[in-house]
Amino acid sequence: MFKFLQPKVLDAITLFHKASNPASIRIATLLKQAAGSGAAVSDNAPAKKSDFELNITEEAPTTEQLRTMLDYVGKTGISSIISNAQNETEALKKFKENGDNLNRPIVVDWNNGKVFTGDNESAILKLLEGLPKKN
């Protein structure tokens, strides 16, 4: 019988970037290299290119995106996204008061519900290595 191929949905990875932040620049470079060359692993083993859609933005997340990120990290991770926030209500309030309360860089894997803040390159590489590969 014939198999009908479903169009493949790419994993969506977003970097909430701040160009003046050295950590954010390092993470943007790492993600661009992984998206462009497939060199997401640091060893010399050949790697297939990860198949994902990369979005790097200096725009603030929407309120809905922020709520989703807060849900991904759970109560214990809220302060990693919004400085000094203890719960979602407080985080949303602080974010609306001042967008600089957002701790950039933030990498979000929307398809797998994962968020990484700061310049934790090893965690981001592990995330990329777990994404589906091109054949």
Residue 47: the pLDDT is 43
Query: What is the widest separation between alpha-carbon atoms in the chain?
Result: 59
End-to-end CA distance of the chain: 23
Helix axes 22-37, 121-129, angle to 10 degrees: 20
Residue 40: the pLDDT is 44
pLDDT tens digits, one per residue of 51-98: 788 999 999 999 999 999 999 999 999 999 999 999 999 999 999 999
Residue 6: the pLDDT is 57
Residue written as tokens 């790492």?
A: 30
Residue 101: the pLDDT is 93
Residue 46: the pLDDT is 39
Q: Report which DSSP code applies to 18.
A: -
Listed in sequence order, the DSSP H helices in 1-135 are 22-37, 63-73, 78-81, 88-97, 121-129
Residue 43: the pLDDT is 39
As a whole number of angstroms, the distance between CA 129 and CA 135 comes to 14
pLDDT tens digits, one per residue of 13-34: 999 999 999 999 999 999 998 8
Residue 39: pLDDT band with limits 50, 70, 90: very low
Residue 4: the pLDDT is 59
pTM: 0.82
